[in-house]
Chains A and B, each alone.
Chain A
Amino acid sequence: MTMINFKLNGIKKTIETDPNRRLLDVIREDFKLTGPKEGCGEGECGACAVLMNGHIVNSCSVPLANVDEQAIVTIEGFSKTPQYEVIKDAFAEAGGVQCGFCTPGMIIATQSLLSHNPHPSDEEIKIGLSGNLCRCTGYNLIIKAIKIAIKKGEGLW
């Protein structure tokens, strides 16, 4: 058991637990935030994606020890931001949501991409999404959503 201090959605948290536990399990089980999903459990599908210090990480592949003194934002936290509002409207307009299981991860990936590169090329968008699997959409409408978000959110990133 170790004491881990980290910021979760902007709020300081301290938890005494096994440092080898997966961040995903701690988020879902201890903090009851179920926006990040478990799709594969091996860092391949991106359904469990969260932001760590603004960068996308697969929370199923991050041991809690690595989170000490870091800032984690899940979809629950990100959905309170103006950037989320733009991305959300863009996904709705493009039709980028089907079953929804990959969607929180896709939105986290979009934020991670645009916050580091506000005007990505098509190729850069595809690379930005390549860690997130979607079986429903074939990605076209998600890419379209991101292009809408880039336009409508000009200046936000």
Chain B
Amino acid sequence: MKDISKSINKVDNDVKMSGQADYVADLEMENMLYAMTKRSPIAKGKIIKIDYPELPENYYIIDHKDIQGKNIVKVIFDDWLVFTDKEVNYIGEPLMLVIGPNKEKIVDIINHIHIVFEEEKPLFEWKDSVLDYHFEKGQGSQIFDAADHVIKKTYTTGYQEQAYIEPQGFLGYPEGNKVTLIGSIQCPYYVKNAVIQALDETQENVRIIQATVGGAFGGKEEYPSLIACQLAVAVKKIKQPIKLIFEREEDMSVTTKRHPSKTHFEAAIKNNQLIGLRAHVGIDAGATIGLSGVVLSRALLAVSGAYTVDHLDVSGDVYRTNTVPNGAFRGFGAPQMFFAVDMFIEHVAKALQEDPLTFRMNLLAKQGDKTSTNGIFRDPILMPEMIEKAIDISHYKEKLNAYKQAGNYKGIGMSLFFHGCGFTGSGEKEIIKAKVRLKKAYDKVYILVAAVDMGQGVKTTFRKLIAYILDIDIEQVVFNNPDTDYVPDSGPTVASRTMMIVGGLLARAANTMKERWTEDCLTVEKAYEQPDYIQYDEKNFVGDAYPAYSWGVNVVEVEVDPVTYQVDLKKSWSVYDVGKAIDERVVLGQADGGLAQGLSYGYLEVMNHQKGKIMQKNMTDYIIPTAMDMCDMETHLFENPYAYGPYGAKGVGELTLIGGAAAVAKAIENAIDKPVYKIPVTPEYIMELMQDDND
């Protein structure tokens, strides 16, 4: 039997390299109009009056009055308006679309729409808690009664912008009574269901097609539903093709970002041992709650990091502020939490004058241990061997000591982390209810799912998976971009679920098809069935929050400039357990790209707002790594097949981002011999840390 991990060339290489792949901005239709958005210039206020200029022929304004269904974008929490009507709650909130054949004229019209606001005092502090969670494990807060002393630290993380190179966009057009939208999206059925609700239309009359996606990283999970609803309302009314493509500045100013966070940790210490943890995590939702509650959950579930702590007292709040709404970004709360907890455990070890590596190794989660919510880590955990490998190839121990002694501004850091694969809790069973379809027509097999290739390679890996199981040529397997008129709802392309859950269902369908292979034409459908052992009480945070976990170790070496405090990445070494790689090269591509985002989240990517206005409005102001910034990244994979994943595959995509920030922050600590409490660790922050010393 051939090993499925052995790499093949990606199936969409040629069309992308030669410039022939169609992204949404590349599509044109006859009589196509353009749409642009008129937005709120203030952070909070009531709309008193709007004066419109006279519209030339074939120019239109579409706003909340045109919405025939609900003026709510269907996400998780119903508080996101398609078009705001009475008040505005953040700078950039959409008020209306201006539509017409000439973009310059549209801009001119937008500039001549005058809105009178009654301004109100915006809220930027984290005071207005709109969701709060609390759970305990073991003795919970009572364990603190038994402590000799308590160590307290606070960790903060900033915004992070997905910075996909292709901005958001859709092309919408009428097809008879139907409204069809083609766009840069991760979740065709999220968009479809949102549009149905906004238009008050039937299933048959809304069609969503995925264009080639030029990067997403969570940024095209829920945000596209907003602009799809706006555009669908316009298409239904105007009955002409309309294209809505964001410019970079607009994309950066108004689309969802990674939630800034603040985590307050307390460690209960007895006889120089860590006996319990208390944590409070606050995240900034921005002006709407959206899916912030789920982001907070994922953060809280990772509260003890890659370690087992028997007694936990965990709480968190989602705060609403008059800022741009935050949302999904690869990792979904976990990058914030793993930074905080992995720093804290190291800081606790140092405070106890214990060797941090030994202290961490002793605390590592083991198979059979209870998770933070009293679920069980059921599968083997290979972390001790993975850490040994990482130490070995990076010479971590020697370098750590040498750099500390030398004071030469060189440093090395190691992060330990996991990622819960798939939706949190019973999300797959209760909410998503994934369905997949596999269709055979003579010598071709068609994959019919709503999973999107956004660069992560699922077009290749799904076709490979089916070809391997059916023992046919990959050329015989067809997987077109999802079109909701043809594919069932296999769920969104998120949460590191695509290969493990959707691929797992496809593998089951292929096995059934194999048994009936002699038939010329047949269709096999499979629906998600939750493994019996997954029982999760979402309200009380009790049970198995995830069916499986992927694990990782990142080591990174840095050099800090002693004068400018610029951080230079020297090299990274990573070891991952993703179950089984369906294609090794695809996984290594995810490993590099995820770690690059994780490392730069930790030291390079600065985004902030002033009075609600995002200060970084383009690729010049918001720095993502160039080829000059990145270092050589060495990656090793450990096989640890998961029983319910296809060939044993678990989640990959998000895992690779999660450990970067803690690894680079620890490397910088090692280099400057000062504790780091916030990311990004910018030269300005390092200077602050160094000056503290001089006082």
A-side contacts of B627, CB under 8 Å: 125-127, 129-130, 132, 139, 142-143
Known pairs A95-B7, A138-B625; list 7 more (Cβ under 8 Å).
A38-B25, A79-B18, A100-B15, A100-B455, A125-B627, A130-B628, A139-B627
Pull 28 A–B residue pairs with CB atoms less than 8 Å apart, ordered by A. A36-B19, A37-B25, A39-B214, A42-B620, A45-B165, A76-B18, A91-B13, A92-B13, A92-B14, A95-B10, A99-B454, A100-B212, A100-B214, A101-B164, A101-B165, A101-B215, A125-B627, A126-B627, A126-B628, A133-B624, A133-B626, A135-B164, A135-B215, A136-B593, A138-B630, A140-B633, A141-B588, A142-B627
B interface residue numbers (CB < 8 A to A) = 7, 9-10, 12-23, 25-26, 162-167, 212-217, 247-249, 454-457, 585-586, 588-589, 592-593, 595-597, 618-620, 624-628, 630, 632-633
CB pair A135 B217 closer than 8 Å: yes
CB pair A100 B17 closer than 8 Å: yes
Number of A interface residues in the complex (CB < 8 A): 51
B-side contacts of A37, CB under 8 Å: 23, 25-26, 165-166, 214
Nearest Cβ on chain A to B6's Cβ, whole angstroms: 13
Nearest Cβ on chain A to B324's Cβ, whole angstroms: 19
- Given the complex of chains A and B, what is the CA–CA distance between A40 and B163 in angstroms? 10
Which residue of B has the minimal Cβ distance to A88?
B17
Q: Does A72 interact with chain B (Cβ within 8 Å)? A: no
CB pair B589 A136 closer than 8 Å: yes
A-side contacts of B216, CB under 8 Å: 99
Which residue of A has the minimal Cβ distance to B634?
A140
- Given the complex of chains A and B, what is the CA–CA distance between A107 and B16 in angstroms? 11
- Given the complex of chains A and B, what is the CA–CA distance between A126 and B23 in angstroms? 27
Q: Does A23 interact with chain B (Cβ within 8 Å)? A: no
CB pair B596 A138 closer than 8 Å: yes
Q: Does A68 interact with chain B (Cβ within 8 Å)? A: no
Beyond A34-B26, A103-B17, A107-B17, whether A140 also contacts B632 by CB under 8 A is yes
A-side contacts of B18, CB under 8 Å: 35, 75-76, 79, 84, 88, 104
Which residue of A has the minimal Cβ distance to B213?
A99
CB pair B13 A129 closer than 8 Å: no
A-side contacts of B9, CB under 8 Å: 92-93
Q: Does A97 interact with chain B (Cβ within 8 Å)? A: yes
CB pair A97 B165 closer than 8 Å: no
Nearest Cβ on chain A to B548's Cβ, whole angstroms: 24
Beyond A100-B21, A137-B593, A138-B625, whether A41 also contacts B633 by CB under 8 A is no
Chain A 126-157 interface residues, beta-carbon cutoff 8 Å to B: 126-127, 129-143
Chain A 65-111 interface residues, beta-carbon cutoff 8 Å to B: 74-76, 79, 84, 88, 91-93, 95, 97-104, 107
CB pair B13 A101 closer than 8 Å: no
B-side contacts of A143, CB under 8 Å: 627
Main secondary structure of the interface of A (DSSP, over half): loop
CB pair B19 A101 closer than 8 Å: no
Which residue of B has the minimal Cβ distance to A105?
B165
Say which residue of B167, B247, B593 sits within 8 Å of A135 (CB atoms).
Answer: B593
CB pair A139 B630 closer than 8 Å: yes
CB pair B10 A102 closer than 8 Å: no
CB pair A40 B619 closer than 8 Å: yes
Beyond A39-B166, A95-B10, A139-B627, whether A44 also contacts B620 by CB under 8 A is yes
- Given the complex of chains A and B, what is the CA–CA distance between A146 and B695 in angstroms? 50
Q: Does A47 interact with chain B (Cβ within 8 Å)? A: yes
CB pair B592 A138 closer than 8 Å: yes
Say which residue of A45, A97, A135 sits within 8 Å of B13 (CB atoms).
Answer: A97
Which residue of A has the minimal Cβ distance to B14?
A88
CB pair A100 B16 closer than 8 Å: yes
- Given the complex of chains A and B, what is the CA–CA distance between A122 and B249 in angstroms? 33
B-side contacts of A129, CB under 8 Å: 626-627
A-side contacts of B596, CB under 8 Å: 137-139
- Given the complex of chains A and B, what is the CA–CA distance between A132 and B589 in angstroms? 18
- Given the complex of chains A and B, what is the CA–CA distance between A133 and B629 in angstroms? 11
CB pair A35 B630 closer than 8 Å: no
CB pair A42 B13 closer than 8 Å: no
B-side contacts of A93, CB under 8 Å: 9
- Given the complex of chains A and B, what is the CA–CA distance between A28 and B248 in angstroms? 18
CB pair B585 A45 closer than 8 Å: no
Which residue of A has the minimal Cβ distance to B630?
A139
Top-7 shortest CB links A-B: A35-B19, A99-B455, A100-B16, A101-B214, A138-B596, A98-B455, A75-B19
